[in-house]
Structure 1
Amino acid sequence: MTSLGTSQGPATPDTCDKGAQPIAAVVFDLDGVLVNSFAVMRQAFTTAYAEVVGDGEPPFEEYERHLGRYFPDIMRIMGLPLRWAP
């Protein structure tokens, strides 16, 4: 498998393997199925909570209950208007 980048930066036409196959797909793992990103998600939620709400313990358990759900469904379950969605 050909590397798409190096520690020196992203791959460029000069640094790429000329015989490499073109990229056929890119996979995004947004809910931890392929990579265990739980600790990073927890830290991101804690940081966002502190910036938006301020002091207090972030309700991570509430956040965790909705992992993997479609965002409009989360808004509906929580009784929040869809117009508040980003």
Structure 2
Amino acid sequence: MSRETDTPSSGPNGRGGAAYPSGTPPYGTPMASDDGADAGRSGARSEERKTETTLTTRIRINIPGSRPIPPVVVRKPVDDAEAAG
């Protein structure tokens, strides 16, 4: 909403079109082509996918009287032999 009026803004700087026009896929979704050329590649990609075990460690730092510090996240791939033991 803008401060001058009680109407919500419809785009950048309060005027113009929508930030994401219709037909724009959200981030993270694969773009599908009309000719179907990607159909063969997507099947091969799913066969290559394997499960990987990852050790995730979160380190929280707390200093009294200080601003909040986001946690530090460390991820390390783990071999299957280590994960099973």
Sort the TM-score into its range (normalised by shorter chain). Answer: under 0.3
Higher strand share: 2
Higher helix share: 1
Structure possessing the higher relative contact order (Cα contacts under 8 Å, 6 or more residues apart): 2
Q: Which has the larger radius of gyration?
A: 2
Taking structure 2 as the reference length, what is the TM-score of the superposition? 0.26
Taking structure 1 as the reference length, what is the TM-score of the superposition? 0.26
